[in-house]
Amino acid sequence: MLPAGVGVPSFRSLLLPIVASVLAVSAHAADFADAESSLLRGDYAAAERVAAAEVQRGVWNEQWSKLLIRCQLTRGDYPGALVTYEQAISRYSSSLSLRLLGRDVLRVNGRNDQAKQEAALILQTIQRSPTRYLSRDNMIAAGRYFTDRGEDAREVLELFYDRVRDVDPKFVEAYVATAELALSKGDYKVAADTLATAAKLAPDDPNVAFLASQAWQPSDSKRATAELNRALTINPHHVPSLLFQVDQLIDRERYAEAREVITSVLGINTHQWEAWSYLAVLAHLDGNFELEKLMRASALSTWAENPRVDFLIGRKLSDKYRFAEGAEYQRSALTFDSSFHEASFQLAQDLLRLGFDDVGWTLADKVASDDPYNVVAHNLATLHDSLRKYSVIARDDIHVRMQPDEAEIYGEAVIDLLSDAKRVLCEKYAVEVNQPIFVEIYPAQKDFAIRTFGLPGGDGFLGVCFGRVVTANSPASQGPRPSNWQSVLWHEFCHVVTLEKTRNRMPRWLSEGISVYEERQRNGSWGEQMSPVYRQMILSDALTPVSELSGAFLTPPSGLHLQFAYYESSLVVEYIIDKHGIKRLRQILDLLGEGLSTAAALESVIGSVDRLDVEFREYARTRAEAFAPLADWSRVVSEKPTPEELVGWSVTLPTNYDALQKLATTQVATKQYDEARETLEKLVGLGVTSGMRDGVLEQLAGVYRELRDDDAELRTLDQVIQWSSDALPALERLIE
């Protein structure tokens, strides 16, 4: 639920006559339902023809005028929508829903002052005689109007949307409005629950499916994708869904595909401001800043004071870690509308990620105070209060913030490591970091997630670097087998260096690849390494082309696939350095910092991305085939072998990894430790050892322990910790 508020807004007393009255429920004729169905299916021209005919016929029903306006706005016929609205409002002057729709019509026709007057008329209309405007549509319109004014979200829910649902539980628009409000405040659970009911009432409404995709996006990407696909199945021309596809394609760095979808949107509405805004983002990412200005101007061509244009451009640049550029766009958005909370809060987050804590926290606290139902702002404000109690350790312009008890235990070791990382990595990548660097280490995963993402969640993330600001989970937040904090912080500080060098202009795969590669360079037990599982993935279809590699981090099929994306990215970096040298890698980073696209930077230094895709695949396959070449890597047919089959395999498949691994697992489970030792030692002899958790070495150490062979166990435990820095059980056993 939305968090509890403090106080009651003044407009509540104004609305008591409304909520005390009976809501009037308007009926729709069957032919209107057919026309609206055409609109929902994406047959905008057909819906517009029917609506226009009814309006011209003079039917006394404002729904036809509103339907016609919706069609005209969707297709970009803004002058036509203005004519329709002016004619309609002269007939239906008491309609709040029509007047609210008219505000949008006036804005996109360059009549912003008149749009503000129209909004004022909505309030005046309610003030004059509130009990007259009690249809379902007008109640929802009034709720949306007060939401836009920044009024109390819980009161809007209770006095408008909940009241409509109580009287007419099947009125879908009440659920849609509730979900929109919840999404705007970051309350995804309320939105998802509300939309589940709406979907039962309106299974063929693409707007419901689209909003559901937004509600599930932070917690269940697969379900979010399914809902988005459902929306586009219902209506392949559903503009909000197409625009969200663009958003996701930009995240995955599939820019050519994003442009194709944008083209399809502009084919529906050549004035669509979000489409032009995304083109401005793509121009910026290409380093074509003059084109960026032209695309922004096109986005603002119909509504010159639209604050959401700059908000959207800035948000997407911040998604790409271009926080400084993103912050400038948010400041520009606020010049259009100083009360635009979304831009204020995005600016606060940008400033916090740039290390401007004083201004950032002040702005975030103000947003939380002004908008108490913004869940993300509320979470950050609560976290800010607890951060005041943290200790700060500083050296070499590196500022580490930790809880006092943790700082006392290993705070000095943290600052030692980070100082060393700064010296080694800055020299290697020819970077000077002249601004303060802030590292925050959280003993509670929830606090790390709120600081990093704004919401609880983010499981699987150990640390995140925004440039000069790093957030990390401490070992205390990770359960009985935490990741090695030294490896994590070295990885994140490498991000500091490479992001500084490129001015935060680098693809996800390259940034992560260099950091994982540098982990291994620092310590052979750090970072991702070749393993039997990774060998199989490289030699199968799981290897992602370099040109698509950033997308592998966004919606991986499993946690394993995410970890493999890190490893594969590091292997690409290793290939570039092996073939072209570290100097060429630095040149690529320099060109990215100058604003070149990834493809242009790579082509300028080492050749085309297409060639890189082909050459890297061969390099990776060669590396995989070189891992444990004495082993037989063919897959055995039976996934659940019988004891007889297992015994037979030990004779007929003496070097088969799959067979020996299944045999060893069964032997350990049935406490056949002498036999398990023989099988596991055979696997070690084949060279299949790695730092994989519960891998061959850890199994063998456990078998030696059961057999009370202390010397062999000690030798094996030493091998385990040489392979893996995360093997806490092995370290604890060695201490014993």
Q: What is the DSSP string of 615-648?
A: HHHHHHHHHHHTSSTTSB-PPPS-SS--HHHHHH
Return the pLDDT at 19: 45
Among left, alpha and beta (phi > 0; psi -120 to 50; other), residue 57 is alpha
Closest CA to 217 of 207, 206, 208, 228: 228
Q: Give, in order, the Cα–Cα distances in Å from 368 to each of 160, 181, 283, 455, 591.
A: 24, 16, 34, 14, 40
Question: Does 564 have pLDDT greater than 80?
Answer: yes
Question: Based on the number of CB atoms within 10 Å of its own CB, is 360 exposed (0-12), middle (13-18) or buried (19 or more)?
Answer: buried
DSSP code, position 475: G
Greatest alpha-carbon pair distance for the chain in Å reads 96
| Angstrom distance (rounded) from CA 466 to CA 458 | 15
* Better pLDDT: 255 or 459: 255
458 pLDDT band, cuts 50/70/90, is: low
Percentage of the chain surpassing pLDDT 90? 59
Q: Are strands 391-395 and 398-402 parallel, antiparallel or unpaired?
A: antiparallel
Q: Any idea which of 119-133, 206-220, 323-337, 466-480 has the lowest mean pLDDT?
A: 119-133
DSSP letter assigned to residue 194: H
What DSSP designation does 26 have?
A: -
Contact between 511 and 504 under an 8 Å Cβ cutoff? The reply is no
* Under 8 Å between Cβ of 146 and 172: no
3-class secondary structure, 633: coil
Q: What angle do CA 181, 183, 187 make, to 5 degrees?
A: 100
Q: How far is CA 632 from its chain centroid?
A: 41
Mean pLDDT over 681-706 rounds to 89
Q: Pull the structure tokens for residue 713.
A: 């166990």
With H, G, I as helix, E, B as strand and everything else as coil, classify residue 632.
Answer: strand
- Residue 226 main-chain phi, psi, to 5 deg: -60, -40
Provide CB contacts within 8 A for 381, sequence distance 6+: 364, 365, 368, 369
- Six-digit token pair at 707? 């057999």
Mean pLDDT (the chain, rounded): 88
For 81-91, give one letter per residue: b (16+ CB within 10 A) or e: bbebbeebbee
Partners of 657 in beta bridges: none
If residue 469 lies in a helix (H) or strand (E), which one and from where to where? Answer: strand 469-473
Confidence of residue 230 (pLDDT cuts 50, 70, 90): very high
How far is it, in rounded angstroms, from Cα 599 to Cα 608? 7
371 in Cβ contact with 341 (< 8 Å): yes
Report phi then psi at 401, rounded to 5.
-110, 125
The pLDDT of residue 67: 95
Q: Which of the residue ranges 31-35, 104-108, 517-521 would you say has the lowest mean pLDDT?
A: 31-35
Interhelix angle for 728-735 vs 696-706, to 10°? 30
For residue 133, pLDDT over 60 is answered with no
Question: What number is the average pLDDT over the span 324-342?
Answer: 93
| Selection from 25-34, 108-117, 291-300 with the highest mean pLDDT | 291-300
**What's the pLDDT tens digit per position in 9-21?**
455 554 544 444 4
Per-residue pLDDT at 557? 84
3-state secondary structure 534-576: HHHHHCCCCCCCHHHHHHHHCCCCCHHHHHHHHHHHHHHHHHH
Tell me phi and psi for residue 469, to 5 degrees: -125, 130
CA atoms within 13 A on the CB side of 287: 16
Contact 545, 613 (CB under 8 A): yes
pLDDT classification of 153: cutoffs 50, 70, 90: confident
Give residue 120's pLDDT band: very low, low, confident or very high (50, 70, 90). Answer: confident
pLDDT at 27: 38
As given in the structure block, the two tokens for residue 383 are 């976290």
Q: Is beta strand 463-465 parallel, antiparallel or unpaired with respect to 437-442? A: unpaired
Which amino acid is it at 53?
A
pLDDT at 30: 47
Instruction: Name beta bridge partners: 471.
Output: 440, 464
At 134, the pLDDT band (50, 70, 90 cuts) reads low
| pLDDT (0 to 100) of residue 23 | 44
Tokens of 480: 């009985």
Q: Do the beta carbons of residue 493 and residue 418 sit within 8 Å? A: yes
Local confidence band at 457 (pLDDT 50, 70, 90 cut-offs): low
Other CB atoms within 10 Å distance of the CB of residue 104: 18
pLDDT tops 90 at residue 501: yes
Where b means 16+ CB within 10 Å and e means fewer, 458-472 reads beebbbbbbbbbbbb
CB 529 within 8 A of CB 520: yes
599-630 pLDDT, tens digit each: 899 999 999 999 999 999 999 999 999 999 99
State pLDDT tens for residues 378-430: 788 888 878 888 999 999 999 999 999 999 999 999 999 999 999 999 999 99
Strand partners, 439: 400, 470
Interval 64-78 mean pLDDT: 96
Angle at 367 between CA 362 and CA 370, to 5 degrees: 120
Assess whether pLDDT exceeds 70 at residue 497: yes
pLDDT at 433: 87
Q: What is the C-alpha separation between 498 and 731, in angstroms, rounded?
A: 33
* One-letter amino acid for residue 430 of the chain: A
Answer for the pair 36, 50: CB distance below 8 angstroms, yes or no.
Answer: no
Compute the distance between CA of residue 733 and CA of residue 706 in angstroms, rounded to an integer. 13
Check pLDDT > 50 for residue 22.
no
403 to each of 388, 396, 408, 442, 652, how far by Cα in Å?
A: 10, 21, 9, 7, 58
pLDDT interval class at 182 (50, 70, 90): very high
Which tokens hold the place of 335?
């010049």
Residue 26, pLDDT above cutoff 50: no
Lowest-confidence segment of 96-110, 178-192, 355-369, 513-527 by average pLDDT: 355-369
Dihedral pair phi/psi, residue 711, rounded to 5° = -65, -45
The region of weakest confidence among 119-123, 312-316, 669-673 is: 119-123
What is the pLDDT averaged over residues 325-334? 96
* Interval 246-254 mean pLDDT: 92
- Between the CA of residue 250 and those of 212, 319, 569, 601, 712, what are the distances in Å? 21, 10, 19, 18, 53
For the cut 60, the answer to whether the pLDDT of residue 529 exceeds it is: yes
Distance CA 421, CA 61 (A): 71
Give dist(CA 268, CA 479) in Å, integer.
52
pTM, to two decimals: 0.84
* H or E element at residue 472: strand 469-473
Residue 696's nearest CA partner among 736, 726, 728, 663 is 663
Residue 5: pLDDT over 60: no
What's the Cα-to-Cα distance from 620 to each of 62, 79, 552, 624, 626, rounded to whole Å? 65, 58, 17, 6, 10
Output the pLDDT for position 694. 82
User: Residues with Cβ < 8 Å from 295, sequence gap 6 or more?
Assistant: 276, 277, 279, 280, 283
Q: Give the residues across from 398 on adjacent strands.
A: 395, 437
Token pair of 47 as six digits: 């819906």
Residues pairing with 401 in the sheet: 392, 440
- Between CA 396 and CA 529 the distance in angstroms is 32
